[in-house]
Chains A and B, each alone.
Chain A
Amino acid sequence: MRTVDVKQGILSKNDRLARKLRQRFEEAGVYVLNMVSSPGTGKTELLQRTLKELSEAGYKVAALVGDLQTDNDAKRLQKSGVPVRQITTSGLCHLEAQMVEEHLADWNLADYDFLFVENVGNLVCPSSFDLGEQLRIALLSVTEGEDKPLKYPPIFSSAHVAVITKADLAEACEFQAESAYENLQSVHPNITVLTTSARTGLGFLEWLDYLTQQRRAWLDELKGAAV
């Protein structure tokens, strides 16, 4: 019997590929966002309105949409008139960097300002898999209960921003915004929290502002690094 040191990350293959993707995104100047949440939080609804409003504001946007079995979400999103591709994972509960790479295929990334990746609806599995994104967005809907962040700390602690969705239903669900905010801060101190309703457009000014500012700051940083 012999002991051999390995000291290797179990997901090092995915991490390597994600780093390559991140570099590719940087070279193309496309800001990539990874949206994670449990099923039914309203990722597609939020994305649909976001794609529409960003493209109306003159931004070039595209989306990759992960789903276990169907291409319903991609069909819904294609209505917004922007390029959308479905990644069907055939039962796999999360997206991996390789799937993103495969589905980018012939897209010329330099043509886009934003690329949204809608992960598979799941609050556990996607957290360990880097997709090369610049921003990870965790969604929490008012219908889910304020304690979701405490139940799933890894995903909320790995996200850069938390977006509360379906805010138009907050009153009907007796959603305690303060408590949700406290729980988010508990698992991720100083996390930015935005509140939206894709149905009514509530909070969208701030949300779109946030996205465009983040992208601008990222581009400035890239320029700074290149000098």
Chain B
Amino acid sequence: MSVHELSIARNIVEIVSQVAMEEKSPRVSVIHLQIGALSCVVPSALEFAFEVASQGTPTEGARLQMECMPVVVHCDSCETEVALESPQSFRCPRCAQPTPTLVSGRELEISRVELEEEPICAHG
């Protein structure tokens, strides 16, 4: 594992724990992430790092649901946005022109979380 996944996992834990606290939820069950193809994140490494970083927090045991986002560029010749087949080749898949204008693909975002409710106290 390259250690930046641990930094990323710690940031996820920090942000999501804060959300859980504000929402008065004791436990987070699922964390939905958007991970760009140019973000350098290896999903299995992030899962492992998250397991370590989440211990003892409301995010412990939560599942990471990762949506991998393609690299999208703007092709000046086709005057449109297109998704690249591979980040190794910044060329428009339609017209084969070089496409230096990156639109998206570096995402490292928490889109939403699924929270468990506080158990209602029967004697309350």
What residues of chain A have their CB less than 8 Å away from a CB belonging to chain B?
Answer: 1-14, 91-94, 96, 122, 124-129, 150, 153-155, 157-158, 185-190
Contacts and interface: CB of A to CB of B under 8 A. Distances in A.
A187 B109 CA distance: 23
Nearest to B29: A1
B12 to A, nearest CB: 6
Interface in B76-124: 87-91, 98-100, 102, 106, 108-117
Contacts of A186: 88-91
A128 B42 CA distance: 13
B36 to A, nearest CB: 9
B55 interface: no
Interface in B10-66: 11-12, 14-16, 19, 23, 25, 29, 33, 38-40
Nearest to B4: A125
B23 A2 contact: yes
Q: Which of A2, A129, A153 has the most CB of B within 10 A?
A: A153
A10 B90 contact: no
Contacts of A124: 2, 4, 40
Contact of A125 (B2, B38, B98, B111): B2
* Interface SS of chain B: mixed
B114 A2 contact: yes
Contacts of B33: 10
10 smallest CB-CB distances across A and B, nearest first, come from A189-B98, A125-B4, A189-B100, A153-B87, A93-B3, A10-B108, A6-B110, A154-B38, A5-B112, A150-B88
B40 A125 contact: yes
Contact of B111 (A5, A96, A150): A5
Nearest to A68: B3
Question: Interface centre among A10, A122, A150, A190, by most B CB within 10 Å?
Answer: A10
